[in-house]
Homo-oligomer: A and B are copies of this chain.
Amino acid sequence: MTLKYATKLENPATDYLAHLSIDCVVFGFHDNQLKVLLLKSKYLDEWSLPGGFVMHSETVEQAARRTLEERTGATDIFMQQFRVFSNPERKNPIFQKENMLKANLKMNNFDWLNQRFVSIGFYALVEFSKVDAAPDIYSEECVWKNVDQVGRLMMDHNQILTDALETLRLQLRHQPIGYNLLPNKFTMPELQKLYETILGRELDRRNFQRKILSYKIVKRLPERRTGVAYKAPYLYRFDLEEYNKALREGLSGDW
């Protein structure tokens, strides 16, 4: 999978649109932590978001989807454009000639790579267990990191992550979330924990349950979580019809 991407990058000026890149903020949820997928460069001591370029025959959505499929093996990912990042000084340090020579990278069109890139930011929500994160040939690692332990990222990638997180928090107010982040069946405390993790603060248990149920996007199952020492909590699942309707029309706030 990664090879396909690597091959393509041998003649970038022929294969891709100039000046235009994609950056993907991939969120996952595991062990009650919001995680983000990061790559560690082989050649520079830098961490970055997964990204790529746009082929002449692709839409930007197709480019983002291809980039993520190559990195994660996951198809059918929930992705959304959220902002374009266009500081005139945006250049990828990996593609500076000296770094590419040092790394013995055999690529044509140094100049094409070492230019300004306007980047289209996408965020993606994926079920942690379905992702098989794989580094590309320029990376030595592709790992999940807790969102609050990311550290310094390359270029403006910290800003891109911050903006994606802000978009996600705003989305939480008017659109349902969780279908792409939780397993099929979950307990109310698990769903609440997801919301608390994204928002970065604790919520009142009763209010949360009342609100979520009022939106009709989750259904209580006739089963309880087994193997729990104390009082076994009920399991829920999303009502996909209502969930998708709320995605289109918003949760509430109608006039």
Contact = CB atoms under 8 A, between A and B. Distances in A.
B170 A208 contact: no
A172 B255 contact: yes
Interface centre among A59, A87, A195 (most CB of B within 10 A): A59
Given A86-B61, A170-B174, A251-B253, A118 B56 contact: no
Contacts of A74: none
B86 A60 contact: yes
A187 to B, nearest CB: 17
Contact of A252 (B17, B195, B253): B253
Interface string A42-60: 0000000000001011111
Interface of A is mostly: mixed
A-side interface size class = 35 or more
A252 B255 CA distance: 12
A199 B255 contact: yes
Given A19-B17, A19-B20, A116-B17, A173 B86 contact: no
A170 B250 contact: yes
A195 B60 CA distance: 33
Contact of A88 (B58, B170, B250): B58
Interface in A73-88: 81, 83-84, 86-88
Given A18-B18, A250-B170, A255-B199, A88 B59 contact: yes
A203 interface: yes
Contacts of A253: 173-174, 251-253
A59 B172 CA distance: 29
Nearest 10 A-B pairs (CB), nearest first?
Answer: A173-B253, A60-B86, A59-B86, A174-B174, A17-B19, A173-B250, A18-B18, A57-B88, A203-B255, A60-B84
